[in-house]
Structure 1
Amino acid sequence: MAFDTPVMDTPATHARRTRTRFMILALISGGTMINYLDRTVMGIAAPAISQDLGLSAVMMGLVFSAFSWTYAAAQIPGGILIDRLGTKLTYWLALTLWSLFTALQGLAQGFASLLGLRMLVGASEAPCFPTNSRVVATWFPQSERARATGIYTFAEYIGLAFLSPALFWVLHAYGWRVLLLSVGAVGVVYGLIWWRKYHEPHESKTANAAELDYIREGGGIVDGGQKATRFEWRQIPALLKHRNMLGICLGQFACNSTNVFFLTWFPTYLVTERHMPWLKVGWIAVLPFIAASLGTLVGGWVSDALLRRGYSLNVARKLPVIAGLLTASVIVLANYVESDALVIGILCVAYFAQGMSALAWMIVSDIAPKGMLGLSGGVFNLFANAAGIVTPLTIGVIVSTTGSFVWALAFVSSITVFGALCYLFIVRDLTRLPAIEQPEQGVSK
């Protein structure tokens, strides 16, 4: 997607701007793609694991949910870690550890070991999206942030879309253990690439003064001047007392519920509810992920286009999110059609809309208090991944109790409507939240 980079009247306008920020965007996009491969490969392997290890639907629901127990619990510590250690080291540690634990899942011998390793993957992945948000706020002017966010979010889905047939083939040919070991190994190697290539704007040897001036004048943090905050637990309720922060957190819980369904139970739904052959599922499953990836790009493009045309930040950011949440509720219509083609079409529309609403991550960068991007992102993602705890477990109980996904889809649909109502009635005009008073020197943290 093209970015508009008009020449601005700065001291460096005599030089053509470099485009180092797009290389940085490519780096976090690659990391995000691996992040989602590692968390969702369990959904692909689930039927084979269930059969091999003798796990029931409720037990698999617990395994799916376990990722988000620790992922959600580690959001606040992960956000603090980013603010303390910085982007480069935090992301490298997270990427390497979650990839190692993904690979080790391939050695699991039963429910307990699989559950424990799944929890370790969740804890290790916690800093990823708060770090992405921080990188975008650092390297991009406000006028480009929505599309930048859309592009790295696009990577979540496009990797799954184009790699799913290969992942299903590996599963069919070599089994679920080789699948998990292989996916984990890729992440460890990518960690080395990240460590070598990532740098902050003020440390860059490839970004020229014209590019740095452009980012700075657009609100990017190019001088390393974002002081790390000293953490106190009281800062969390201090953030959530602002209705905008609370509203977007509740909205993200709703948005992620649809996402979690597709990342966990979707392949099982196609096999058990729609009775599709397993290898056919590998190709059919591509379509909703392609739709979701397009939704992220459309959401970012619409948001930045509205901003360029003079609409307020409030309209430009909230409109795609609300439209996405309301449209995603059509997932419940899959209960009322017989044709597999129509079912896939409905699911594609729902996931496309969910991709649009993923733009909400951009709002965190817009409203977080200065110096608290990491913590704000951690709080936001904590709510998002409460859905990762509730949704897969609830669906597992529903399917186990009723023997059907009918009420499961109704549950997901109702949650998306709730999210839209949060943005309509809780979130007001989007402005940066005031700085939170820092603890005094010597006060215990």
Structure 2
Amino acid sequence: MAQVARKSMTIPLKKPTRARFSILALLFIITAINYLDRTNLSVAASSIQKDLGLNQVTLGLIFSAFGWSYAFMQIPGGWILDRFGPRLTYAVSLCTWSITTLCLGFAKNFAGFFGLRLALGITEAPAFPTNSRVVAAWFPKQERAMATGVYTAGEYVGLAFATPILFWLLSNFGWQMIFIVTGIVGILFTFVWVKYYRDPKYSKAINKEEMDYIREGGGLAENAGEKHKITWSEVKQLLKYRQIWGISFTQFSVASMLYFFLTWFPTYLVQEKHMSFIKAGFMGSLPYIAACVGVLLAGAWSDKMVKSGKSLTVARKTPIITGALGACLIVLANYTQVPGLVIAIMSVAFFSQGMAATGWVMVSDLAPTKLVGLAGGIFNVAANLSGILTPIIIGIIVQKTHSFTGALIYMAVLALSGALSLLFVVGKIQRLELKE
């Protein structure tokens, strides 16, 4: 018996599989598609305006339509996620927003574009809550910030590297082809998602050792695919937690700078800093690359702190607060006209914004287990309110003062406020519990 026991003790332990990183690759690609489909209009806008005879007001309304419906549908989108689970929710969302994008290539007038942009906001609404839910299920807490950083980097990678392809399509085939190609890409990737995504307990790619690793690290592997009936009592409880409001305000503050870069940045370079369109187009891509690096660095830094024994509160807050404070440096661009220096300052600011953009990991860490989707919806409402307000507020400031100086100060004040919210409102980072 002793000999048998000794032999059994020599049996090597199986190594955990790494199926979670294949899942992360899926999230990265879908997020890149998501941002291409919401920003491709900016590339096509001038040609659309000329072909359809749209004025600046009607074009602005078309731009804003996505933000209104997207923000409005965040909480319902989170509820849908909690009700039907991530696999079905993402499949339907990705397919329907891609079909909507494809249809934009055949729009003939203002009403068509406005209605389809509203539909795009509705259909994309569950995307980021689903990302957060999937990361909470597939990744232990010591890897969760890294995972959040990787899929968030998909936003910037798409904007930095795919935009030249969209301009090539525009130049060679017309603005319609931008929407047709990006729509078809999303539709095709829906089949990839359905084929390869499974919640951990249903996945054939994961072994027991990886499942144990995720579960022991605080991942929600066991109940990732559970469908919950959400009661109004639970919703009210969630809304009473200051932590949810604190991280949501921080996200609003940080996302405001993102929307500056998505909307006003090219105009700022041309009108305020007097760069040519060619120079603005080339040099303007550099801050997006910097932001991509920033979000990946912040995720890796946060997880490294968790692994080294730092508290979850310190590990999650430190990169975001550091990034928010660094983003305040954007005001330095008010004091130079040198193009290279302007781009360097903007790159530092957007790098810092990228670091602060990993706030989704706190949704995974804080939200009650059965309300991760709903909490993500609330969080994303705050982010996308900035998408509605920031372009309008900056436009008012520039119109009244004939300068972007006040706009950069406005964004710096918001970034500072976001850092203070994390410091003094959110408190300890730990999973919130619902009362029975």
Q: Give the superposition deviation at 1:227.
A: 4.3
Matched residue, 2:318? 319
* Higher mean displacement: 12-21 or 141-150: 12-21
Query: How many angstroms apart in 2 are the aligned matches of 1:322 and 1:202?
Result: 35
Indicate if the aligned counterparts of 1:58 and 1:397 stay in contact, CA closer than 8 A: no
Matched residue, 1:120? 119
TM-score by length of 1: 0.90
Matched residue, 1:27? 26
Indicate if the aligned counterparts of 1:61 and 1:393 stay in contact, CA closer than 8 A: no
Q: Give the superposition deviation at 1:159.
A: 2.0
Indicate if the aligned counterparts of 1:254 and 1:419 stay in contact, CA closer than 8 A: yes
Matched residue, 1:365? 364
Superposed, 1:228-247 pairs within 5 Å as: 228-247=227-246
Matched residue, 2:411? 412
Query: How many angstroms apart in 2 are the aligned matches of 1:268 and 1:181?
Result: 27
Distance 1:302 1:248, change over 3 A: same
Indicate if the aligned counterparts of 1:65 and 1:393 stay in contact, CA closer than 8 A: no
Higher helix share: 2
Indicate if the aligned counterparts of 1:61 and 1:392 stay in contact, CA closer than 8 A: no
Matched residue, 1:94? 93
Distance 1:133 1:41, change over 3 A: same
Distance 1:44 1:345, change over 3 A: farther
Query: How many angstroms apart in 2 are the aligned matches of 1:425 and 1:71?
Result: 29
Indicate if the aligned counterparts of 2:368 and 2:432 stay in contact, CA closer than 8 A: yes
Matched residue, 2:421? 422
* Higher mean displacement: 271-280 or 143-152: 271-280
Indicate if the aligned counterparts of 1:324 and 1:353 stay in contact, CA closer than 8 A: yes
Query: How many angstroms apart in 1 are the aligned matches of 2:153 and 2:265?
Result: 19
Superposed, 1:141-180 pairs within 5 Å as: 141-180=140-179
Q: Give the superposition deviation at 1:395.
A: 2.7
**Larger radius of gyration, structure 1 or 2?**
2
Matched residue, 1:206? 205
Structure 1 unaligned runs (5+)? 1-11, 438-445
Query: How many angstroms apart in 2 are the aligned matches of 1:81 and 1:13?
Result: 44
Query: How many angstroms apart in 1 are the aligned matches of 2:145 and 2:355?
Result: 11
Distance 1:95 1:227, change over 3 A: closer
Distance 1:226 1:91, change over 3 A: closer
Distance 1:392 1:305, change over 3 A: same
Indicate if the aligned counterparts of 1:306 and 1:316 stay in contact, CA closer than 8 A: yes
Distance 1:226 1:385, change over 3 A: same
Query: How many angstroms apart in 2 are the aligned matches of 1:272 and 1:59?
Result: 22
Structure 2 unaligned runs (5+)? 1-10
Matched residue, 1:7? none
Q: Give the superposition deviation at 1:78.
A: 0.8
Q: Give the superposition deviation at 1:200.
A: 1.1
* Counterpart check, 1:197 vs 2:188: no
Indicate if the aligned counterparts of 2:49 and 2:59 stay in contact, CA closer than 8 A: yes
Indicate if the aligned counterparts of 2:199 and 2:225 stay in contact, CA closer than 8 A: no
Q: For 1:284-326, what per-residue CA distance to the aligned partner results, in whole angstroms no more than 9, with x for missing partners?
A: 2321111010001111111111112221111110111111111
Query: How many angstroms apart in 1 are the aligned matches of 2:313 and 2:47?
Result: 46
Indicate if the aligned counterparts of 1:105 and 1:177 stay in contact, CA closer than 8 A: yes
Superposed, 1:48-59 pairs within 5 Å as: 48-59=47-58
Query: How many angstroms apart in 2 are the aligned matches of 1:108 and 1:275?
Result: 34
Distance 1:56 1:421, change over 3 A: farther
Query: How many angstroms apart in 1 are the aligned matches of 2:334 and 2:177?
Result: 35
Query: How many angstroms apart in 2 are the aligned matches of 1:180 and 1:226?
Result: 33
